[in-house]
A and B are shown apart, each in its own frame.
Chain A
């Protein structure tokens, strides 16, 4: 069974940092590009970042570029999102998402999400 389990969310002050993790199982993690997608309370979905299976290419939404860093450890089947310089508008549930097919970007598997709250 394909499974994604996020962790690392919590309450952080503006300007602070947090690292999210996503543990993957049930599929060949290393060949899939993976993404982070977030959802602010009561709002819609926003793609945040993606990384190719090999980890050699990364992509970011303009809203997080320069502040967030996506990475992966294929030996541990784990995806990460390092978030620095956090702002109130980064408050959201963060989901990791797996594409249906290796080279595509529509997502057939999502984690349960981890809540990040940025507030003083």
Chain B
């Protein structure tokens, strides 16, 4: 089970946002992060806990291993307000997602 916190994060543009994902058992570094905007499919941001996917800006960074992970957005831009999901791909099947963190404008 993946537990994301907080459920909603209110942040002002230009500020830093830190999202958390906790696994109920170790997933090593087999964790990915996705961004999803309304009406769109998810977009892969991070895999291997800390590797940015192609085309993802450097303001997105991932960290952690084992059971504790973070996604940090260093300076929020308007395009970053969205819902973020973590996903583990270590203990499969099933591949599981967290319940999501909504990043909203403060």
Which of A's residues lie within 8 Å of B, judged by CB? Answer: 35, 44-47, 50, 59-62, 95, 100, 104-108, 110-113
Within 8 A of A (CB), among B82-106: 85, 87, 89, 92-100
How far apart sit A112 and B42, CA to CA, in the bound complex (Å)?
Answer: 9
- Given contacts A44-B85, A105-B89, A106-B32, whether A100 and B44 have CB atoms under 8 Å apart is yes
- Given contacts A95-B41, A108-B44, A113-B41, whether A59 and B93 have CB atoms under 8 Å apart is yes
Instruction: Considering the complex, give the chain B residue whose CB is closest to the CB of A111.
Output: B41
| Cross-chain contact B93 with A104 (CB below 8 angstroms) | no
How far apart sit A62 and B94, CA to CA, in the bound complex (Å)?
Answer: 8
- Given contacts A44-B98, A45-B97, A100-B53, whether A106 and B41 have CB atoms under 8 Å apart is no
| Cross-chain contact B100 with A105 (CB below 8 angstroms) | no
